[in-house]
Amino acid sequence: MRTVSILLPLLHLSASLASPTEQIVLGLGDLSRDQQPSSGDAYHVVNEWLDDAKKAILEGKKNLEKWYHGGKEFIKQNGLLYELVSHPSFDQHQLRVTEPNLCDPSVKQYSGYLDIADDKYLFFWWILLSAQSLQKELTPAHRFFESRNSPSTDPLVLWINGGPGCSSSTGLLFELGPCSIANEGNNTTFNKHSWTSNANMIFLDQPVNTGFSYGTTVSTSPVAGKDVYAFLELFLSRFPEYSKQPFHISGESYAGTYLPNIARAIWTGNKQLERPPRSRRPALKKINLESILIGNGFTDPYTQFGSVADYACEGPYPVYSDPEGPECASLRAKIPTCQRMIKSCYAYNSRLTCVPALVYCDARLMGPLLQLGLNPYDVRKPCDREKNSLCYEQMNWIDTWMNDPQVKVALGVEPTRKFSSCSTAVGLAFGLQGDGAHNSAELLGELVDDGVRLLIYAGNADMMCNYMGNERWLEVLDSSFQDEYVTAQTIPWVTAGSAKLAGTVRSAGGKGFTAGNVTFVTVFEAGHMVPFDQPEAALDLFSRWISNTPLSLQ
């Protein structure tokens, strides 16, 4: 999810959900966290919850002591055991890896940190599909792609939540992971619609100071994208068996800004690998970037802010009763100024132009809509943000579960480190750089032309990053598929298992034999978080996309 706007924090307007510009997805409110946890009772807590095998390995070893075993390097750090992974090409980066047994114990898991120099630490949680998990209840969509359910051959997928500043654990525990948060955060339940049924999923807390990640704050998406690229290279050097498989990057909300920057960093890195090597150092891995999936994202502010009045006044769930009334007229009157300011940001790429543009557009266009008492992520529902700033009680449940010391120790997290689903401080840092006002869509054209497929999907009940604006920015995306997409017809999308009309599809490329090269999907009766509102349909969409199967049989 996103928070109400990257700008709104600047205006002291709620740092709540993700507005089209906004972008502190889902984490509003004051979510402070421990940046410098004291040791205090930390060692006692770690020792209480560490399993016997790890206790035996660590016995007698000093803090920060390193050793080799079985060809791997290990370290004891703050009472916890990690495997260390490094690469000569990234001398300022290393991975610390442990193996939790949480959520769904039948799936293989790894978690830990990417350490960047001495001041940035990104938390990740990787979940692989296991044969045992497939014996549980399967949905029709699972059965439709049952032949692809194999960890050794299924694709690798990175998931990132938005914000900026919202943890990927939101996606894992609230939307598409192997388990769902339940019982006010006291436990989790099996999620039969998990995307891990057809893919090996990595959930990454980025940028720094998101979720369990910590350190010196990052405040722009290009820098964050380079950090993620370093993580992926180290990750694949530790798990080279997954470097040959198709790789997809996915996310929602402000991930519409993150993912183009991450994809660009990966694509650029791959191009550099095609040049003659300059040294005998171990080679980096080519990352087989197959596609980009963005759900209800914020990518092209100029186009998407231009759709706000159309959605609010004439969309499938209008928030004003009269499309020609004073409220709608006021919204429409402010769009030209907003777009003029955004255009200046595009032209000059300066904080002096981008920050004011975000402030104006968020305050004048999204501000009035956030005062209506509706859930901006799903306008079909009310929301009293004074009682629940996130509009979803499950966000508080996630905080409760992730802050359990036993969970932290299992994940390789110091037990004194506080988890928050979203950080307003990160959102403010990005807002003060004007990051959300940039046109991230312009990073995608070359990638699409080079064969990287692009899926944009959006629930039609989301007001923060509405489906109209998302469909429109694809119409102006400069790629070899633009003309075909502009003239493409919108056709029904029917799920493969239950034969339910789940939405509509508009696609260019593939000639009807694939899922397309540039594809837009409207998801009916869904808000900002499609996998939460329509889990079966979301799994159908994801499964067909990663297998490059047509989304419509027409």
d(CA 471, CA 296): 10
What is the identity of the amino acid at 201? Answer: M
Nearest to 282 by CA among 120, 43, 88, 94: 88
What is the identity of the amino acid at 318? Answer: P
Hey, is 127 helix, strand or coil? strand
Enumerate the H helices of 116-167 as residue ranges.
140-144
d(CA 195, CA 175): 9
Contact 46, 80 (CB under 8 A): yes
d(CA 516, CA 485): 10
Contact 207, 160 (CB under 8 A): no
d(CA 535, CA 550): 19
Nearest to 361 by CA among 343, 381, 383: 343
Burial 12-29 (b: 16+ CB within 10 A, else e): ebbbbbbbbbbbbbbbbb
142 labelled catalytic: no
Catalytic-labelled residue, pool 253, 423, 479, 507: 253
d(CA 200, CA 385): 36
193 labelled catalytic: no
Backbone dihedral angles phi then psi of residue 239, each to the nearest 5 degrees = -120, 65
Catalytic-labelled residue, pool 87, 193, 248, 528: 528
Cα distances (Å, whole numbers) of residue 475 to 313, 412, 482: 22, 44, 6
Residue 481: count of CB within 10 angstroms of its CB: 22
What is the identity of the amino acid at 370? Answer: L
Contact 523, 460 (CB under 8 A): yes
Residue 536: count of CB within 10 angstroms of its CB: 19
Contact 116, 256 (CB under 8 A): no
Nearest to 421 by CA among 402, 449, 408: 402
Residue 273: count of CB within 10 angstroms of its CB: 13
Q: Among all chains, which residue has been given the structure tokens 């906004």?
A: 22
Q: Among all chains, which residue has been given the structure tokens 């100071």?
A: 209
Residues 6+ apart with CB under 8 A from 197: 129, 133, 134, 138, 142, 149, 539, 543
Element (H, E) at 272: helix 255-273
DSSP per residue over 363-398, as a string? IIIIHHHTTSSEETTEEEEE--TTT-TTS-HHHHHH
Cα distances (Å, whole numbers) of residue 477 to 35, 297, 444: 40, 15, 8
Residue 510: count of CB within 10 angstroms of its CB: 16
253 labelled catalytic: yes
Catalytic-labelled residue, pool 362, 435, 462, 540: 462
Catalytic residues: 253, 462, 528
